[in-house]
């Protein structure tokens, strides 16, 4: 599954519970499509670089939040539809990340280190040599 980032601007007059509900709705859209949520960031209320007009109102500040998730591309239309129909959302954008973040585990790092030592003709000390105390 590709990694996506959603960046969203919400109306500034929202109560904290309404904002939390909006974020929860977006997260639920990911979960119902067998996606995985990896990060949610809230940037609180911020001044906008330029005013946004929506539904006859002019907004000069907005709640900004971002989430990172993995989901099948077929699920994106539902996420877009949920955001489009919510009147508390001023603007949003979903961006596809270029690659997955690299997560290393200790076993693969140990194996790679051993292969490097073997290529250079260096031997890793055996477990018996590692536990011998100097005299």
Across all residues in the chain, what is the average pLDDT? 86
Residue 120 predicted with pLDDT over 80: no
Enumerate residues 6+ apart whose C-beta is below 8 A from 77. none
- pTM of this prediction? 0.68
Higher pLDDT, 126 or 18: 18
**pLDDT at site 101:** 56
Residue 9 in contact with residue 61, Cβ under 8 Å? no
Angle at Cα 72 formed by Cα 70 and Cα 73, nearest 5°? 110
Q: How confident is the model at residue 107 (pLDDT cuts 50, 70, 90)?
A: confident
Order of strands, edge to edge, in the sheet holding 36-54? 36-54, 57-70, 3-10, 89-96
């Amino acid at each position: 599954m590709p990694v996506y980032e959603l960046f969203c601007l919400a109306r500034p007059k929202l109560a904290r519970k309404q904002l939390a509900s909006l974020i929860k709705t977006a997260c639920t859209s990911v979960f119902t499509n067998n996606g995985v949520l990896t990060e949610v960031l809230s940037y609180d209320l911020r001044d906008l670089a330029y005013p946004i007009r929506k539904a006859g109102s002019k907004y000069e500040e907005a709640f900004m939040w971002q989430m990172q998730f993995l989901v099948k591309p077929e699920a994106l239309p539902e996420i877009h539809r949920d955001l489009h129909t919510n009147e508390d959302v001023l603007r949003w954008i979903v961006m596809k990340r270029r690659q997955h973040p690299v997560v290393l585990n200790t076993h693969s790092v140990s194996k790679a280190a051993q292969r490097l030592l073997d290529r250079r003709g260096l031997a890793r000390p055996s477990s018996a040599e590692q536990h011998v105390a100097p005299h």
